[in-house]
Amino acid sequence: MIEREKIQMELVKLKGGQRLLRLTEPKSGLSLERKLNPEQPVADQKKQLLSVFEAALARAELTPV
């Protein structure tokens, strides 16, 4: 079961001034990161990336090891 509150989010500022959003789920070790588009609101990009990340976590839970 996905525990949304355990998903860790990091906003990393890169050398050239660009920013990177990284999502990590400690239990599974799954991590996803994307460079942010400076012309779009961060909140919108965060929602989109979180949606993709949750779908990947759900798929990983269904896949036997």
CATH number of the domain where residue 54 is located: 3.30.160
Check whether 2 has a pLDDT greater than 70. Answer: no
Residue-level pLDDT at 4: 75
Distance CA 35, CA 13 (A): 10
Residue-level pLDDT at 63: 66
Q: What is the pLDDT of residues 4-48, one digit of tens each?
A: 788 999 999 999 999 999 999 988 888 999 999 999 999 999 999
- How many domains are there within the chain? 1
Task: Give the HSE-up count for residue 43: Cα atoms under 13 Å, Cβ half-sphere.
Answer: 0
Domain that holds residue 36: 4-62
Overall average pLDDT of the 40-60 stretch:
91
Query: Would you tell me how many other CB atoms lie within 10 Å of the CB of residue 45?
Result: 16
